[in-house]
Structures are given as C-alpha cells and as structure tokens.
Amino acid sequence: MSNQENTSRSKPFFDWGLLLLMYNMMLLGVLFISVATYNPSVSVDLPLINKIMSSESGRWQAIFTIASPVAVWFIVSIPYERIKPFVRLFYYIIMFLLVLVIGTSSIRNVSAWFRLTLGRMFQPSEFAKLAMILMLARSISSDEKPMSNFKSAVKLIGTFLLPALLTLFQGEAGTVIVMAVIFYVMIYFGGADWKWLLGLAIMAAIAIGLIFGYGIISGSDDYRLLRILSFIDPTKYAQSAGLQILNSQEAIGSGGLNGIGFFITGSHSQLNFVPEDWTDFVFATIGEAVGFVGCVAIILLYFLIVLRMLYLARYTADEFGRLIIIGVTAMMFFHVFQNIAMTIGIMPITGIPLPFLSYGGSNLLTNVAGVSLVLNVTKNRSVAVSSTSINVSLLNPVSGKRRKRKKKVYVNTSEEV
C-alpha cells in the first residue's frame, strides 16, 4: 500500500457509521428488554411505545439511550491528547470507588453497587475497565519497549492487578476475566516482550486448570465452583446452578429458524422461564423471539462493530490513540463472545452482560463511553505523512554494529489544536 493511500485512510474524521451501528444495537436492546419483561395485562394491540413504557426496565433503558448522546458529545468534544494528563486521576478515583463499594450490601453474593435515588444503582467496576484501558494505553505508549525489564513489567501488571483484585473482592469474577483479556491484548499489541507474554499465558492456563480441578474434586457449595461444575454437567445440577443453562438452551431452541415473535403471551420470556433474561441472559430472549436467523443477524452486527474498530486502529498512527481503540475492541469482543457462549452452554456462567442489549445503566454507559473514545481518537488523531526509512546511525552498545531505525513524522490535521 502506498504512503499516500495509507495517509488518506489515517486522516481524522467522525465515524458516523460506527455511531449508527452502536445506536442500532441500543434500540434493539430497548426492544428485547421490553420483550423479556413484558406485562401480559397490556393489550397486544397497543403501539410499541406503550409496551415499552409498561416495562420498568424497558422504560429506563430507553431513558438511558435517549440521554446517551450527551455522553457521546462530551467525550468526543475533548481531543484525547488533552484527556491524557488526567488519565491517572481518573484511574485512582475509580480505584477509590472500588474500595468503597466493597462495604455495601451484597446482591446475589456480589457487593458491587452503590444505591442511588429512584431505585437506580451505580457499578464502579464497569468504569474500572475503561480506567484500566486508558491507564495502560498511557503507560505502554510512553515506553519504547513495554515489559522489556522487570520495572516496566511490574508497573503494567500492577495497573491491571489493582482493579482486578478489588473487583474480585466484590465477588465479580466475570469482570476480572474481562480485565485480564483486555490487559493481555493491549500488552500484546503494545509490543511487550515475548517472554512475558508467554509466561503470563502459561500462568493463566495453570490457574484455569487448577480452578477446574478444584471444582471437580472439592465438592464445595461455593456458587462460583457450582457454576463450573454445572457447565461440565448441567443436568446433574438441573435444580440449582445448571437450571439457568438448561432453561436458556430450551428458550433459544424454541425460537427455531425465524422465532416466535415479540410480546407473545405464554412465551418463555413472559413466564420468566430463564432467570435474568433481561440482563445477563437477554440472548435467550433474543433467540426465542427472532430465532436462528435473528441471532445470526445480531452476531453480524457485533462483528461489524468489532471489525470497524480494528480497521480504525490499523490506520491510527498515534500509539496512545491506537491502544485505546484496541482496548475498547478487546472489551467489546470478549463481552459478546462470553455472554453468547454462556447462554448456549459452551462457556461457564460468569455474569457478563451483552453490550448494548443487556439491561443496566452502568454497563450501557461504559460501552457508550468506550465507543465514544474510539470516535474521539478517529476525529482527533494525527496522520503519518512519512514512513520512509531514515538512515540514523546508532551504535549498538552490545555488538558495536550500526543499525537503521525507521522514523515516522506525525502531523495533527484535526481542526482542534
């Protein structure tokens, strides 16, 4: 590819296509949440807006969606390079909130929410993922060779471990797994030393093996271990931890090829057959309502979002901006993969919501903010106007040989300076 074509593709612009894809998913989320919480006393002949308004969860999700452009505008309007000096402050504020929330009352063995007015709740661990992405992007982009020495490795691993451990203390193992995936993907694309990458991968594999092994032989009644055991043999735990998996599979299967339709009285979703089918298990509602064809269409929409963000990262010359996009993409991809996989029974249940489709203001705002950061980078990024090799004579202190280094020149062509 020519330098001219590469420069053209890396020019700053506002990606309306990505924004429209996001809002398409958000509107679908309002619809499916309303279907999952459908009140059969509401006439099926009433307009769609009445059915949405009759559902408290659907109504609140609609309010979050309508209010979200304010967040998009705010995040996109400040060039990301101006955000960079405040990343550390944002990171430690979120860490402080993670400490405070540990002392709150638990919901289903998890202490992760601050109770707000009007019955709303705020979940700091959702925003901790964004804080970690920004902090890692800042640290990696300022290091010529990330994790090339022990000090650099400890710094980056600590950036991940602090929010991960605080989140684990709250009982949110699923979110910790998401953080681990984000961390590994970002250090990989950030150019971390291969020895650290290999070592961390081996440690993760050993940890997963130990957890599964302990779950099989321990006989513990810990709900996390029961989720693992029910994943291995859900029928054995059909009246406890395996119930959600089995019922979810049945609901998705009942949709057949084209689904049974929306707001059907007596449907699995209307009868609350699948627990949490408007939050973590909303894909069960989707599968029943729109069938195999609709599920494939939803997955394709997610695929387009992820593929688009990877494309934007590919043509973002600035390392800090590129790593932000990569971190958001990793977060989005793993959420989608893990959520859909657990609802169809090919991954253990982890309590990870489906981006834009699951009910929840904190998760929705986190994903909106993540995409908004991507839009910010593409709108305010610099362009590589020259990528030719420049003969820079550098003396190698080890071999004494001279080597060449490629040098790029960046120009900020955005209107905001």
Instruction: Identify the top-confidence range among 17-21, 78-82, 405-409.
Output: 17-21
**Domain-located, residue 386:** yes
Structural contact between residues 178 and 334, judged by C-beta atoms closer than 8 angstroms: yes
Find the distance separating the first CA and the last CA of the chain, reported in whole Å: 29
**Domain-located, residue 413:** no
Split into its structural domains, the chain has a count of 1
Confidence (pLDDT) at 106: 65
- Residue position matching structure tokens 């505008």: 73
Confidence (pLDDT) at 2: 57
Rounded to an integer, what distance in angstroms lies between the CA atom of residue 287 and that of residue 299?
A: 11
The mean pLDDT of the chain is: 84
**Domain-located, residue 397:** no
**Comparison of pLDDT for 209 and 324, the residue scoring more:** 324
From 320, 318, 316, 356, select the one nearest 336 (Cα to Cα).
356
- Domain of 384, in residue numbers: 3-390
User: What is the mean predicted confidence (pLDDT) over 136-146?
Assistant: 90
**Domain-located, residue 395:** no
**Domain-located, residue 161:** yes
Q: Give the pLDDT confidence of 65-79 residue by residue, as tens digits.
A: 999 999 999 999 999
Confidence (pLDDT) at 401: 43
Instruction: Identify the top-confidence range among 99-108, 131-140, 220-229, 389-398.
Output: 131-140
Confidence (pLDDT) at 402: 37
Confidence (pLDDT) at 349: 86
**Comparison of pLDDT for 384 and 204, the residue scoring more:** 204
**Comparison of pLDDT for 218 and 87, the residue scoring more:** 87
**Comparison of pLDDT for 42 and 158, the residue scoring more:** 158
Confidence (pLDDT) at 75: 96
Local structure of residue 85 (DSSP, 8 states): G
User: What is the mean predicted confidence (pLDDT) over 334-356?
Assistant: 92
Rounded to an integer, what distance in angstroms lies between the CA atom of residue 140 and that of residue 130?
A: 15
Q: What proportion of the chain, given as a percentage, has pLDDT over 90?
A: 54
**Domain-located, residue 44:** yes
Q: Give the pLDDT confidence of 191-247 residue by residue, as tens digits.
A: 888 888 999 999 888 877 776 665 555 555 566 677 777 777 777 777 777 888 899
User: What is the mean predicted confidence (pLDDT) over 302-318?
Assistant: 95
Confidence (pLDDT) at 86: 95
Band of pLDDT at residue 121, cut at 50, 70 and 90: confident
Cβ-based burial of 410 (10 A; exposed 0-12, middle 13-18, buried ≥19): middle
Poorest-confidence range of 194-198, 349-353, 395-399? 395-399
The first and second tokens of residue 329, run together, are: 């993409």
Confidence (pLDDT) at 393: 36
Local structure of residue 236 (DSSP, 8 states): G
**Domain-located, residue 66:** yes
Q: Within 13 Å of residue 90, how many CA atoms lie on the same side as its CB?
A: 16
**Domain-located, residue 155:** yes
The model's pTM: 0.87
Rounded to an integer, what distance in angstroms lies between the CA atom of residue 133 and that of residue 128?
A: 9
Q: What proportion of the chain, given as a percentage, has pLDDT over 70?
A: 84
